[in-house]
Chain A
Amino acid sequence: MADKKKNWPLWEVFVRSKNGLEHRHFGSLHAADEDMALENARDVYTRRKEGVSIWVVESKHIKASNPDENGEMFEPAEDKVYRHPTFYDLPDEVKHM
């Protein structure tokens, strides 16, 4: 009996705290379906008026990058300093740039 029991899956909760801001990861919770996940998220994570919009997504649908590959994934961006404005030398007299 015990092994055929299915537990409520895990969901990730993203909350927009006010219009103009992005949804931010707030935490996770368990729910049987997406409606319940949304309701649970409302009850668990917005009790103190923390949000105006909620996204929920079942955790298993998130594909995460592997930290072991952080070298190839992220380090190549490190030396591309020319992508940043401070790379370019301009005299102080030049305004509005």
Chain B
Amino acid sequence: MSEKEVKNLEEIFEQKIARDEKIEPKDWMPEKYRKTHIRQMSQHAHSEIVGMLPEGNWITRAPSLRRKVALLAKVQDEAGHGLYLYSACETLGVSREELYDQLHSGKAKYSSIFNYPTITWADIGAIGWLVDGAAIINQVPLCSTSYGPYARAMVRVCKEESFHQRQGYEIMLTLCRGTEEQKQMAQDALNRWWWPALMMLGPTDDASVHTAQSMKWKLKRKTNDELRQQFIDQTIPQADILGITVPDPDLKWNEETGHYDFGEINWDEFWQVVKGQGPCNKERLETRVNAWEGGAWVRDAAMAYAEKQAAKKVQKAS
């Protein structure tokens, strides 16, 4: 294809997206679109899978049967969401195994928040409330993103996730209405998860490399800073109901803008965790690698069995 022809195709492609038409797997797409989507969808998938671990850490210790089944179901949903998203990636011709390799080798990234430890039960509440809260803000606009398989996966994800945040907030509410010790536990969790949750919405707009292109392709509908502001504005009143306070002395309502002003985010910490120096980066990756490598003989056995059965069927037929 000549340069001019490609340029022409690209123009038609961009117009299609601008008209809100979806792009489907076999449609022509610019290489950059394909690559960007593989990167974003796989990062998203990895985040779901790694995200199972900090919460999974409390399944065996959940304090009541009701909490235990809710947590099990939630962590299981995350496995499902990872699966939907890996499947969406596979429509672009990259296999789940290749994506796992990228994760396991440290080449692929996942949401840094999962590199923080869950050290008390209240962390399970805080994750549901804040981390899922921030995730929802990120994800809802993706239900109408331009790539069909991604949009469809996100519709399913958002539908299923609707209980996740409520589950977390209910845990926080129970703690805050409980004993002084429980309330302190909730406050401590908020103190530790607040800033990482804000970082979850991504670097500030001036430091973000992908925003402009992503907006055009509807991978993003709002900038990181807008999303962060939205998250803060909707979360603070929720914290007020709980009766606990976010660990930000600069936080205050701004009558003029109609938004909350907030303090400086420690971006050094953010980049450090992204680069692998967070409290649990090593453990999280190790756990994933062990599960995958430790399961290799199981997957091989199932394939060997399937092949034997298929051969038997052929023999019977002839």
Residue positions of A touching B, CB distance < 8 A: 5-8, 10, 27-30, 32-33, 36, 44, 47-48, 64, 66-68
Contact = CB atoms under 8 A, between A and B. Distances in A.
Given A8-B299, A32-B306, A48-B160, A27 B28 contact: no
Interface residues of B, number: 26
Interface of B: 24, 26-28, 76, 80, 83-84, 87, 90, 95-97, 152-153, 156, 160, 296, 299-300, 302-303, 305-306, 309-310
Contact of B24 (A10, A29, A67): A67
B306 A44 contact: no
Contacts of A5: 296, 300
Contacts of B26: 64, 66-67
Given A32-B306, A33-B305, A44 B299 contact: no
**Interface residue SS majority, chain B:** helix
A44 B160 contact: no
Contact of A32 (B24, B28, B303): B303
B80 A47 contact: yes
B90 to A, nearest CB: 6
A44 B24 CA distance: 23
A36 B306 CA distance: 10
Given A32-B299, A32-B306, A44-B80, 12 more contacts: A7-B96, A7-B303, A8-B302, A10-B87, A32-B302, A32-B305, A33-B309, A33-B310, A47-B76, A47-B80, A64-B26, A67-B26
A56 to B, nearest CB: 13
Given A7-B95, A64-B26, A44 B305 contact: no
Contacts of B296: 5
A27 B303 contact: no
Contact of B302 (A10, A29, A36, A48): A36
A44 B27 CA distance: 28
Nearest to A64: B26
A47 B84 CA distance: 14
Contact of B90 (A28, A66, A68): A28
A28 B76 CA distance: 17
A28 B309 CA distance: 23
Contact of B153 (A27, A48, A64): A27
Most chain-B Cβ atoms within 10 A of its Cβ — which of A5, A29, A32? A32
B83 A8 contact: no
Contacts of A30: 96
Most chain-B Cβ atoms within 10 A of its Cβ — which of A28, A36, A64, A66? A28
5 contacts: A8-B299, A27-B153, A28-B90, A48-B160, A64-B26
Contact of A10 (B80, B90, B310): B90
Contacts of A27: 84, 87, 152-153, 156
Nearest to B302: A32
A49 to B, nearest CB: 13
A32 B26 CA distance: 26
Contacts of B300: 5-6
A68 B84 CA distance: 27
Contacts of A7: 95-97, 299, 303
Given A44-B80, A47-B80, A67-B26, A28 B303 contact: no
Contacts of B305: 32-33
A33 B160 contact: no
